[in-house]
Amino acid sequence: MVEKILVRGGKRLKGSVKVEGAKNAVLPVIAASLLAETGKSTIYEVPPLADVYTMKSVLSHIDAAIDYKDGVFTADASGSIGTEAPFEYVRKMRASFLVMGPMLARKGLAHIALPGGCAIGSRPIDQHLKGFEAMGAVVEIGNGYIEAKVEGRLQGARIYMDFPSVGATENIMMAAALAEGTTILENVAEEPEIVDLANYINAMGGKVRGAGTGTIRIEGVESMQGAVHTIIPDRIEAGTFMIAAAITGGEVYVEGALHEHLRPLVAKMREMGVIIEDEDNGMLVKGPDMLRPADIKTLPHPGFPTDMQAQFMALLTQAHGTAVITETVFENRFMHAEEFRRMNADIKTEGRTAVVTGPAHLTGAEVAATDLRAGAALVLAGLVAEGETSVTELRHLDRGYVDFHQKLQALGANVTRVSVEDNQVEEVEENTVLRSVQNR
Ligand SMILES: CC(=O)N[C@H]1[C@@H](OP(=O)(O)OP(=O)(O)OC[C@H]2O[C@@H](n3ccc(=O)[nH]c3=O)[C@H](O)[C@@H]2O)O[C@H](CO)[C@@H](O)[C@@H]1O
Ligand SMILES: C=C(OP(=O)(O)O)C(=O)O
């Protein structure tokens, strides 16, 4: 059985769409629930994504009591929790590695499968390990696993990160929350998801200051308890729908698109001529008749997010002129360029640079999602392509988007999701998609 999204281009999108809770905030927040030795945590706005189900499986595997229904996730890690995250989870989702910090802080031991590289780059974890070692852990790697151990409690330390890694900032911040003494983390990631995690840790009784700036100070506490927390809206999902509006020359209100989280994207889209009105709890996006080109360079926050690069590339194929994309965060995040070229886009890549010349007369083609954001970007390109675009490898898309095709349909797009077996095409119902995600 192969699932595909089929798009027929040519519709201007119109209406309103609501974004879900942020995938990249909810995964570390669920991992952080392991820090609480007493009480239960209740987390709201948890999206039904494949990655959320994987994180749920990781926590169940180590005997935390979990419940997840209707966007509400509860976690009770007050009993005795395990210390292992096996390869079957880490292979599916690298963010499984985020349980290492909380496990090590609480149990003095963590045995986690070594995350490999992935389609977008080699993605080492040296900065995570450097942080744990600075706090007194002994780290050993063997048989595809990393084992980190500490006698007694982790010790607060001053740690300078060589690169502001999002995952390393989160993992070390969680470990430091239960360490003895104060940890000062320098050159850290400043993403909104880091601030969300810090707020949750503080609600659990932690003492984290400075999240959202380049230096975070964490005063370790002896114990933490479960807390209530609501996840921030997904700025990448929001940005994806903003581009859907712009690329089709449509008019869409994106509820949950917060300007303070989306400044670099808003600035670049305005440079291209897109009209963006900042409203109370979202943004109204109006696509112009003619898009201008704009160069982008991906950078850690508040720079342009790498997770919006593929979608922005789709938009640039429709701009009148040439633009340069420089990808500085991941060394191999241009796999989608090849797929766009199959749709007749004019894109040249060399190393970390892509040169996009528009406006291309895109034509429908069979294309494959090479990673999560590439999947969304190919659907966006399909919205303006002549004829039918068929996007496969949807397991990537399901990691980060809930009901993507239904949300586009509701805005007037001609898009369906089908299941194909032996040349039989069946339309996939919403619940079937969800079930297939849950069963993973
Ligand atoms: C679940 C989650 O939140 N995922 C996001 C997170 O991934 P993730 O946390 O994996 O990304 P990082 O910020 O850690 O990675 C950024 C860069 O740092 C490098 N690096 C990272 C750690 C390390 O120990 N050593 C090292 O060299 C990576 O290879 C990469 O080149 O931030 C990325 C950058 O915004 C986003 O694209 C991902 O969507
Ligand atoms: C790269 C992404 O996620 P992850 O770090 O989970 O692979 C993403 O969300 O675009």
ipTM over 0.95: yes
Please give the pLDDT value at position 440.
38
Which of 301, 373, 395 is the best mutation target for the ligand 2 pocket, counting ligand atoms within 8 Å of the beta carbon and taking the most?
A: 373
Per-residue model confidence (pLDDT) at position 17: 98
- Asked whether 210 lines ligand 1 (CB < 6 A), one says no
Instruction: Provide the angle, in degrees to the nearest 10, between the axes of the packed helices 309-316 and 372-382.
Output: 20
Residue 435 has what pLDDT? 43
Q: Is 162 annotated as a binding residue?
A: no
Residues of the chain with CATH 3.65.10.10: 2-20+233-438, 23-230
| pLDDT for res 22 | 98
Q: What is the mean pLDDT of each successive set of 10 residues along the chain, which is 440 residues long?
A: 96 98 98 98 98 96 96 96 94 95 98 88 94 98 96 98 98 98 98 98 98 98 98 98 98 98 98 96 97 98 98 98 98 96 98 98 98 97 98 96 98 96 61 45
27 Cβ closer than 6 Å to some ligand 1 atom: yes
Single out the residue of 333, 259, 334, 327 nearest to residue 295, CA to CA.
327
pLDDT at residue 431 in the model? 44
- Looking up tokens 């690169």 gives 163
Residue 384 token pair = 């303006």
Backbone φ and ψ of 361, nearest 5°: -85, 90
User: pLDDT for 252-285, tens place per residue?
Assistant: 999 999 999 999 999 999 999 999 999 989 999 9
Q: Is 382 a catalytic residue?
A: no
Tokens of 22: 């942020």
Q: Is the peptide bond before 359 cis (omega within 30 degrees of 0)?
A: yes
Tokens for 433, please give them. 């998609």
* Strand ranges inside 101-242, DSSP E: 109-113, 138-142, 145-149, 158-160, 182-186, 207-209, 215-219, 224-225, 228-230
Q: What six digits make up the tokens of 192?
A: 């909104």
Which class in CATH covers the domain with range 2-20+233-438?
Answer: alpha beta
- pLDDT for 423 equals 56
Using the structure block, give the residue that is written with the tokens 């990781």. Answer: 58
Which bin fits 144, alpha (ψ -120 to 50), beta or left (φ > 0)? left
CA of 166 to the centre of ligand 1 (A): 5
CA–CA separation, 144 and 261 (whole Å):
37
Q: Is the CB of 105 under 6 A from ligand 2?
A: no
* Predicted TM-score of the model (pTM): 0.96
Give yes or no for residue 166 CB within 6 A of ligand 1: yes
321 C-alpha vs ligand 1 centroid, how far in Å?
32
Is 295 flagged in the annotation as binding? no
Q: What is the pLDDT of residue 436?
A: 47
**143 φψ region: left (φ > 0), alpha (ψ -120 to 50), beta (else):** left
**Residue 94 is labelled as binding a ligand:** yes
Ligand 2 contact via 170 beta carbon (within 6 Å): no
Task: Compute, in angstroms, the gap from residue 30 CA to the centroid of ligand 1.
Answer: 18
Q: 124 C-alpha vs ligand 1 centroid, how far in Å?
A: 9
Residue 329, annotated as binding a ligand: yes
Task: Please identify, by atom number, the ligand 1 atom nearest to the C-alpha of residue 121.
Answer: 29
Q: Which CATH number fits domain 23-230: 3.60.21.10, 3.65.10.10, 3.40.190.10, 3.40.50.620?
A: 3.65.10.10
pLDDT of residue 388: 98
- pLDDT at residue 371 in the model: 95
